């Protein structure tokens, strides 16, 4: 059950959407929110200063990093004040905190004492990122010790969730979460299995038996084909607006690569994606 939700904040429209989704979930699950602003050490140290001074033709002055940190601290205070005010306005318990470090690393470290991490699909540097996912978001998804909900730029209350189930341990975890969400939110749940050569009957039977005690409205669908393409097409063709899935991987290489199915779907599906790993 979700009782502690970590919501990284950077002032971008995507982090605002993450807050909107988190407030909605907090009210439904009776959870509290933890807002986190990270002072990024990449902006304070390393090649950034040297590149800047070189391009401008002067030696970096000694207190540049200190002034930059002060500016970021002030920005963080402003962002977290808005976070607390938004939570208070909706009657949601909140706690805000600032940390210093590599952004993704700090988020994953704080995630150890959360039940869910909610992040925007992209962040404050979205205009400089040409992929569908921001680099920080992608790193958090690879490394987070807890489930991650990746959300789009604008909040829309989900009404029609879809679970992509392949029988793997991570998909089983995602099925548990999907069942709890469907039960708590009063929503129907569609379970989709994809195979290229049989085995679908056993998977669907597993899902039926698992979901039966939850007494939720459930639909079970099997399709043949390439899993990433089928999941994307079924989600879009049937107007689903929330996807649950486990990371697809077979070894520790998941730390470097999310897995072809997971990666494809995250880039192709525009709505929120709940990812279990």
- Eight-state DSSP code of residue 146: S
Residue 277 has pLDDT above 60, yes or no: yes
CATH number of the domain encompassing residue 107: 3.40.50.620
Q: Which tens digits make up the pLDDT trace of 90-130? A: 999 999 999 999 999 999 999 999 999 999 997 655 444 44
Helix %, strand %, coil % of the chain (to 5): 50, 20, 30
- Eight-state DSSP code of residue 275: E
Burial annotation 155-178 (CB, 10 A radius, 16+ → b, else e): beebeebbbbbbebebbbbbbebb
Q: Which tens digits make up the pLDDT trace of 174-201? A: 999 999 999 999 999 999 999 877 667 8
Asked if residue 12 and residue 106 are part of one domain, the reply reads yes
- Residue range of the domain that includes 77: 4-151
Q: Which of 151, 173, 192 finishes a domain?
A: 151
pTM of the model: 0.86
Q: Which of 151, 177, 208 finishes a domain?
A: 151
Asked if residue 132 and residue 38 are part of one domain, the reply reads yes
Domain assignment present for residue 277? The answer is no
Asked if residue 181 and residue 140 are part of one domain, the reply reads no
Q: Which tens digits make up the pLDDT trace of 18-72? A: 999 999 999 999 999 999 999 988 766 654 444 444 445 445 555 657 787 888 8
Sign of CA dihedral 27, 188, 259, 230: negative
Query: What's the structural domain count of the chain?
Result: 2
Domain assignment present for residue 156? The answer is no
Phi, psi of 14 (to 5 degrees): -70, -40
Q: How many helices and strands in the chain, by DSSP H and E?
A: 9, 10
Q: Could you count the other beta carbons within 10 Å of the beta carbon of residue 28?
A: 14
Asked if residue 61 and residue 10 are part of one domain, the reply reads yes
């Amino acid at each position: 059950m979700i009782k502690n939700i970590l919501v990284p904040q950077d002032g971008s429209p995507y982090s605002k959407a993450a807050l909107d989704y988190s407030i909605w979930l907090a009210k439904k699950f009776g959870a509290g929110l933890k807002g986190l602003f990270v002072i990024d050490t990449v902006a304070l140290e390393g090649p950034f200063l040297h590149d800047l001074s070189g391009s401008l033709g002067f030696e970096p002055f000694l207190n540049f990093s200190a002034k930059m940190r002060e500016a970021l601290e002030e920005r963080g205070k402003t962002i977290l004040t808005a976070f607390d005010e938004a939570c208070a306005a909706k009657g949601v318990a909140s706690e805000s905190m600032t940390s210093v470090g590599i952004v993704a690393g700090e988020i994953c470290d704080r995630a150890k004492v959360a039940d869910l991490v909610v992040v925007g699909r992209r962040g404050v540097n979205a205009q400089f990122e040409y992929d569908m996912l921001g680099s920080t978001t992608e790193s958090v998804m690879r490394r987070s010790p807890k489930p991650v909900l990746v959300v789009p730029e604008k909040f829309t209350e989900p009404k029609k969730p879809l679970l992509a189930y392949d029988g793997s341990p991570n998909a089983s975890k995602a099925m548990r979460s999907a069942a709890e969400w469907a039960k708590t939110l009063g929503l129907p749940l569609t379970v989709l299995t994809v195979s290229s050569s049989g085995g679908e009957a056993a998977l669907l039977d597993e899902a039926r038996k698992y979901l039966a005690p939850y007494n939720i409205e459930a639909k079970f669908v099997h399709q043949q084909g390439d899993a990433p393409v089928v999941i994307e097409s079924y989600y879009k063709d049937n107007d689903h607006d929330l996807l649950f899935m486990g990371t697809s991987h077979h070894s520790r290489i998941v730390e470097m690569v999310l897995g072809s199915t997971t990666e494809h779907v995250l880039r192709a599906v525009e709505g929120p994606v709940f990812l279990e790993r």
